[in-house]
Structure 1
Amino acid sequence: MTKPPATVRELIREQYASLTQAERKFANALLANYPAAGLASITIVAANAEVSTPTVARMVQKLGFKGYPQFHQALLKELEAKGSGPTQRRANWASEAPEGHLLNRFAQAVTDNLSQTFSNVDSEQFDAAVRQLANTEGRLYVVGGRITRALADYAFTHFQAIRQRVTHMTSSSATWPHYVLDMVEGDTLLMFDVRRYETNLQRLAELASERGVKVILITDQWSSPIGSVAAHTFNCWVEIPSAWDSNISTMMLLEAMISAAQEERWDETRARYEKLDTIFDTTRLFRKFT
């Protein structure tokens, strides 16, 4: 399968070290409000970033674009991809699908997604997020959306065993104000939001952030708007030959976080595991073979 073209965000990360100070100023402004900050004319985006028009022109050429119009079109295509539904996604794949069995195409797509995802994870940001997830001084809240609520449930099951003070927020946004009521500075909110991004999740993130809660966002390669208030954002590549996106890379990143949080507080977690096993034995929840 042909590797999908890099997003503008990826290109900026790849070329960031080669950018001048002024070019980095524009790049940072774009990433802070991505991709909206690059969707106006070159004069407007330059003015908004407080750089010169030639600075913008030079930077987009360093990213591999012939000029600003091509750069602008790339951002528009990314924006279109953000809002596409299942029918359009399948149409995109069907028009470009290579020959070969679906299983092979699927396997290649998933492999590419995993590679792209983990090559774009900043290790320092990952470590900081894990420390936050493992810190029991604050409460950890976990929530997902229509599709990603399954990921939130999986995360809750593991983090509840790893640490104390974990709350799984229901999928009904009507109940969220009750959770927000008890949120305080120092708490953490782990959120999952992928295209088509859910407005209720964004509002929840904003309300939590206003209360001093640190938001950790796991999203797709196009990035949920929640990223504007998140302390840590992790992008996972999700496209596959299907009308639906894949959660494989998202689950892989989540499992890496769970494993790292377990190691972060292993002595306490081991004691919890042992007590939990004792309770399981008492309730005879699991079958014993010895």
Structure 2
Amino acid sequence: MSEAAMAESIRRGMGDCSPAERKVARVLLAAYPSAGFETVARLAERAGVSGPTVLRFVQRLGYRGFPDFQEALRRDLDERSASPLRIYQARGAQDGDGGTLRDRAAAVSVSTLERTFAQVSTHDLDRSVELISQASGTVVIAGGRYSSLLGRALALHLEQIRPRVRMMPDEPSARAALTEDLGRKDVLVVFDYRRYEEHTQRLARFARSRHTPIVLFTDVWLSPISSDAEVVLTSETAAPSPFDALTPVLALVEAVVAGCLERLGDAAIDRMARADRAADDLALY
């Protein structure tokens, strides 16, 4: 197991656990990573299981014991909060000895993309398509400092094939008004990546209080929003630069768009045709 992907590994491995071990996993993910630094006795108490159940769970994850698990968790936390500057300093400046820029970029990008699709389950991808395409209300999309760029890409595509798609506005009063409208018939799609942003988490908590389903795009360390999300789509972050890769996320976005187009069928095609006619009438392009 990759230590950098501990939270995602816990989430994905729950299906192989006993019912009691799944209780431990849920407690860990609901308060990740802080719950993992508690004692075995305290974690067992919170999960409503025995101490030996906690130990069996961490051994199932591949650790020799609880201290080994906590040491891995510390390293995971360092990775989870790493800034681009820290990543650059840890990696060292690239001096070109590893081949040409083209070859280095191609190798890491292809590997990151392959690992991303290998870890995304068919169920999660299909469920995200179902929620987004079949929502009878509004699909509201929100992101952070960089991830909002990916959200806008999703919004631009979805609005071509279904009605009522909104990107969360930056202007405070408009943002408050759209948030206040959230309800059971809507879907909130959130993009949140390491150094997770508090304003995005507050939005997700509000949506959850309104019983609005949440589709989360995040990294392998898992945004805190994952405990509130109905579907979590994770992507790897390795890139030629110290900045987290956007390409794997965009590939997942494109897969979701393709799935929504297939699910909506003729209704989506008709909408695209009407939009083309409107564009012609308005001489837009």
Partner in structure 2 of residue 79 of structure 1: 77
Using structure 2 for the length normalisation, give the TM-score: 0.89
Question: Pairwise mapping of residues 1-290 of structure 1 onto structure 2 (< 5 A)?
Answer: 5=3, 7-12=5-10, 16=14, 19-94=17-92, 99-172=98-171, 175-286=174-285
CA deviation after TM superposition for structure 1 residue 117, in Å: 1.8
Counterpart Cα distance in 2 of 1:267 and 1:274: 10
Assess if the C-alpha contact under 8 Å between 2:116 and 2:236 holds in 1.
yes
Counterpart Cα distance in 1 of 2:18 and 2:185: 37
Assess if the C-alpha contact under 8 Å between 1:146 and 1:171 holds in 2.
no
CA deviation after TM superposition for structure 1 residue 273, in Å: 1.0
Deviates more, 1:276-285 or 1:183-192: 276-285
| Count of aligned positions | 284
Deviates more, 1:26-35 or 1:74-83: 26-35
Counterpart Cα distance in 2 of 1:216 and 1:66: 35
1:148-203 deviation line (CA, Å, top 9, x unaligned):
11111111111111101111112345642111122222111111111211111111
RMSD of Structure 2 on Structure 1 (CA): 2.5
Deviates more, 1:25-34 or 1:201-210: 25-34
CA deviation after TM superposition for structure 1 residue 64, in Å: 2.1
The SS at the match of 2:92 is helix
Amino acid in structure 2 at the alignment position of 1:108: A
The 1:149/1:6 distance shift into structure 2, 3 A limit, reads closer
Assess if the C-alpha contact under 8 Å between 1:155 and 1:258 holds in 2.
yes
The 1:172/1:234 distance shift into structure 2, 3 A limit, reads farther
Assess if the C-alpha contact under 8 Å between 2:4 and 2:221 holds in 1.
no
The 1:181/1:62 distance shift into structure 2, 3 A limit, reads closer
Assess if the C-alpha contact under 8 Å between 1:15 and 1:62 holds in 2.
no
CA deviation after TM superposition for structure 1 residue 224, in Å: 1.1
Counterpart Cα distance in 2 of 1:191 and 1:243: 23
* Percent of aligned pairs sharing the same letter: 32
Assess if the C-alpha contact under 8 Å between 2:3 and 2:72 holds in 1.
no
The 1:58/1:154 distance shift into structure 2, 3 A limit, reads same
Using structure 1 for the length normalisation, give the TM-score: 0.88
Assess if the C-alpha contact under 8 Å between 1:145 and 1:198 holds in 2.
yes
What are structure 1's unaligned runs of at least 5 residues?
none
